[in-house]
Amino acid sequence: MSRVFPFTSIVGQERMKRALVLNAVHPQIGGVLIRGERGTAKSTAARALAFLLPEINVVADCHFGCDPDIPSTYCDECRDRVAAGEILPVAVRRTSFVDLPVSATEDRVVGTLDIEKAIQRGERHFEPGVLASANRGLLYVDEVNLLDDHVVDLLLDSAAMGMNVVEREGISFTHPAEFILVGTMNPEEGDLRPQLLDRFGLAVDMAGIHDPRLRVEIVKRRIAFEQDPDGFREEWEDREAELSNRIQQARSRLPLVAYTDTDLYAIAALTSDFKVDGHRADIVILKAARAHAAYEGRMAITDRDILLAAELALPHRLKRQPFQETVLEQGQLEDKLRRAQEEAKAEMSDTSQTAAMADPQKKALRGPTR
């Protein structure tokens, strides 16, 4: 792991780093798509993030790294073993980092069932694919825009469901497939279809750094790392450990982070104002806002959390004309969020008054807190 460049030593690119960290805190956000020129630390950051993630308990001899503490997520093999009375052995391992090649086929991704064995011997034999290796880890897809659309669909389906189901000739096999999906691409080499773009939880557009002082610092750090990887990692070890601990604490805090009906209405009014199709953006903004609040050490989301989440969840979902760049100005977003909050407060006030008039003894309901 000495060849992994420290995450905290990456110069600049703060929005990309924050999007990755939020997915580490709350993997159900739905991954992150990083779009940018070559040489802007896209793949470096993805690999570095995996190194920050904590060690995990796994069923020692399970191909899928099932969590021994959560039987409801067991693969079919582990379920069968437990049903037979076996006590599953437990091991500890680092969070996995899986690199998916752009030439990957469907069978390579989801795995294959041996139909011949099933027919001749009555045995259900499953050959694991990439999704098995990525379970409870980070799945990295470089040049995701060059990947077959059907394969991208499979990845996004599994990331959303947290499960991989393979069915062939009436035979099926199921295993957990929960992972942080990180896709990178160079827009000059083609874009993703809007339907696929929408299914990435967050997206970040990156540009090269042009400040000479920052470019000098990038060169210095890279040369120092190449000359002495172990020494460089040791120099950044305390900052890496601090960020890793902060992510773990945020994960523990996340289920307790509260939000109100006013927050939900403000998010809905914001996405409606931007004319965003569907409801995925609303859900992603809420999840990302809660993850950001947890990361910042707070127990309830604020406008600041919603604003940051919207910056990462909206741009790739906005409608645009052919050859038109989608640009979301900070001031524009702040104005729309302010109007959305005012509308939300007015709506909630009207709702509370109506409820009080209907039953003066009954207090207005508080929004969900989970």
| 199 given a catalytic annotation | no
Handedness of CA 126, 182, 147, 103 (dihedral sign): negative
Residue with tokens 């070559």: 38
CB 42 within 8 A of CB 36: yes
Expressed in angstroms, the distance from the first to the final Cα of the chain is 37
The dihedral formed by the CA atoms of 109, 114, 118 and 121, expressed in degrees to the nearest 10: -140
How many C-beta atoms surround the C-beta of residue 340 within 10 A?
Answer: 23
Residues 281, 318: Cα–Cα separation, whole Å: 10
The dihedral formed by the CA atoms of 315, 266, 308 and 40, expressed in degrees to the nearest 10: -10
Catalytic residue among 136, 221, 233, 280: 280
DSSP per residue over 268-307, as a string?
Answer: HHHHHHTT--SSHHHHHHHHHHHHHHHHTT-SB--HHHHH
Residues 205, 4: Cα–Cα separation, whole Å: 23
Residues 370, 367: Cα–Cα separation, whole Å: 9
Residues 5, 221: Cα–Cα separation, whole Å: 10
Residues 139, 121: Cα–Cα separation, whole Å: 35
Residue 199's alpha-carbon distances to 157, 196, 229, 237, 279, in angstroms, are 9, 5, 37, 35, 11
Residues 197, 145: Cα–Cα separation, whole Å: 10
Catalytic residues: 280
